[in-house]
Amino acid sequence: MLNRVRSAVAHLVSSGGAPPPRPKSPDLSNAPSAQPAVPPEASKSPPVRAGSGSSAPAKTVEARTSFSRPTFLQLSPGGLRRADDHAGRAVQSPPNTGRRLPWSTGYAEVINAGKSRHNEDQACCEVVYVEGRRSISGVPREPSQGQGLCFYYWGLFDGHAGGGAAEMASRLLHRHIREQLKDLVEILQDPSPPPLCLPSTPGAPGSSDPSHLVGPQSCWSSQKEVTHESLVVGAIENAFQFMDEQMARERHGHQVEGGCCALVVVYLLGKVYVANAGDSRAIIVRNGEVIPMSREFTPETERQRLQLLGFLKPELLGGEFTHLEFPRRIQPKELGQRMLYRDQNMTGWAYKKIELEDLRFPLVCGEGKKARVMATIGVTRGLGDHNLKVCSSTLPIKPFLSCFPEVRVYDLTQYEHCPDDVLVLGTDGLWDVTSDCEVAATVDRVLSAYEPNDPSRYTALAQALVLGARGTPRDRGWRLPNNKLGSGDDISVFVIPLGGPGSYS
pLDDT in tens, 303-324: 999 999 999 999 999 999 999 9
Distance CA(322)–CA(293), nearest Å, equals 34
Distance CA(38)–CA(105), nearest Å, equals 23
In single-letter form, the type of residue at position 460 comes to: A
pLDDT in tens, 412-426: 999 999 999 999 999
The confidence score (pLDDT) of residue 79 equals 93
Of 45, 53, 52, 48, which Cα lies nearest the Cα of 80? 45
- Do the bridges between strand 149-160 and strand 121-130 make them parallel or antiparallel, or are there none, so unpaired? antiparallel
Distance CA(276)–CA(408), nearest Å, equals 9
Q: List all residues 6 or more positions away from 197 whose beta carbon is below 8 Å from its beta carbon.
A: none
Could you give the domains of the chain?
A: 71-133+148-191+227-292+402-497 (3.60.40.10), 303-399 (no CATH)
pLDDT in tens, 374-430: 999 999 999 999 999 998 899 999 999 999 999 999 999 999 999 999 999 999 999
Q: List all residues 6 or more positions away from 291 whose beta carbon is below 8 Å from its beta carbon.
A: 283, 284, 285, 410
Positions in the chain short of pLDDT 70: 1-66, 134-146, 200-221, 253-255, 500-505
Of 417, 387, 479, which Cα lies nearest the Cα of 160? 387
Distance CA(81)–CA(57), nearest Å, equals 9
3-state secondary structure of 366: coil
The confidence score (pLDDT) of residue 256 equals 78
The confidence score (pLDDT) of residue 218 equals 53
165 close to 120: Cβ distance less than 8 angstroms:
no
3-state secondary structure of 274: strand
410 close to 272: Cβ distance less than 8 angstroms:
yes
Distance CA(281)–CA(266), nearest Å, equals 15
Q: Which residues pair with 361 in a beta bridge?
A: 321
The CA dihedral of 158, 244, 369, 471, to the nearest 10 degrees, is 0
